[in-house]
Amino acid sequence: MTGLLLVHGAGGTVEGHFGGVMRRLGDRFRCVPGELPDKDGPGADEVVDGLVAAADAAGTGTFAVCGYSLGAPLAVRLAVRHPERVTALVLTAPFARADHRMRLGLSLWRGLHESGNHRLLAEYLALTGLGGSYLDRTDPARLRAMLMLAPAPPAGIPAQLGLAGRIDVREDLGRLAVPTLVVVTAEDPLVSPVRQRALAAAVPGARSAELATGHLPFWEDPEGWADLVEGFLTTRTGAGVG
């Protein structure tokens, strides 16, 4: 069975970010959860080596990698550092290096997390994570109820936000030599869609597709996102439609 390593974004989990994708593809791909560190210290290379170790532990020799948000530059670094292991890449809401606006967003996110005000943090994450079109069509009372039900943020947020602010894979983009799909979140308030498109243009032979969502495609358009991932991976990795 074809391997699929899933690398989530800062402040999330593999199930939270890729649950829908795993349910769609789990009968054709051996899905390997790539969990991010929950303590400060590891650099990008140490993190990606740990992700490869997770694939080894799952008995997966070669694998495609789906990276979302922070998971995307980590997927790029993994493909350059371990090119013999990676068969394809799907990079969603990707960045090569945080720009100044994103750094401000990460700093505020960390401050709100450390304040312990989870309600205000949930509102901030809705503001920076959800696209304008989604917010406009969502009843405010329903949105407030959804935010009240949001789970407590995981303990690893400070470490993961720190890594998001440090990582820089700009020099790696031109060295990628695997089939790559870049999924641009076209209404993203956190990671500039302009920079996402520039990243796609810097990867040799990359395909790109756009979703009319903010930074949370698994919330705003989970089926549309899964369609893109499934279509690309079943074509590029030889995993037949089951």
Q: CA-CA distance, 167 to 78, in Å (whole number)? A: 13
The pLDDT mean for the chain works out to: 93
Worst-scoring range by mean pLDDT, 73-82, 87-96, 115-124, 202-211? 115-124
Rounded mean pLDDT of 7-22?
94
Q: Which of 85-94, 115-124, 157-166 comes out lowest in average pLDDT?
A: 115-124
163-185 pLDDT, tens digit per residue, is: 999 999 999 999 999 999 999 99
Query: pLDDT category, 57, cuts 50, 70, 90?
Result: very high
Digit-coded pLDDT (tens) for 184-196: 999 999 999 999 9
Query: Is 7 strand, coil or helix?
Result: strand
Check pLDDT > 70 for residue 30.
yes
Indicate the pTM of the whole model.
0.94
- Alpha carbons within 13 angstroms on the beta-carbon side of residue 235 total 12
Residue 69 lies in a domain: yes
pLDDT at position 241 over 50: no
CATH number assigned to the domain comprising residue 205 = 3.40.50.1820
> For the chain, how many structural domains are there in total?
1
Helices (H), the chain: 14-25, 44-57, 71-81, 100-115, 118-129, 132-137, 140-148, 157-166, 170-173, 193-202, 217-220, 222-236
Q: Is residue 198 part of a domain?
A: yes
Residue whose C-alpha is closest to residue 188's, from 151, 112, 134? 134
In a domain, 172, yes or no: yes
For residue 38, being part of any structural domain is answered with yes
**pLDDT for the residue numbered 237:** 65
Domain assignment present for 148: no
Containing domain of residue 49, as a range? 2-99+158-236
Q: Is there a domain that residue 116 lies in?
A: no
The pLDDT, as a whole number, for residue 149 is 73
Residue 42 within any structural domain of the chain: yes
- Backbone φ and ψ for 27, nearest 5 degrees, come out as -85, -10
Q: What CA–CA distance (Å, rounded) separates 72 from 93? A: 8
Q: How many residues does the chain have?
A: 242
Which of 182, 237, 174, 232 has the alpha carbon at shortest distance from 206?
182
Please indicate, yes or no, if residue 134 is contained in any of the structural domains.
no
**Tokens 């829908």 sit on residue:** 20
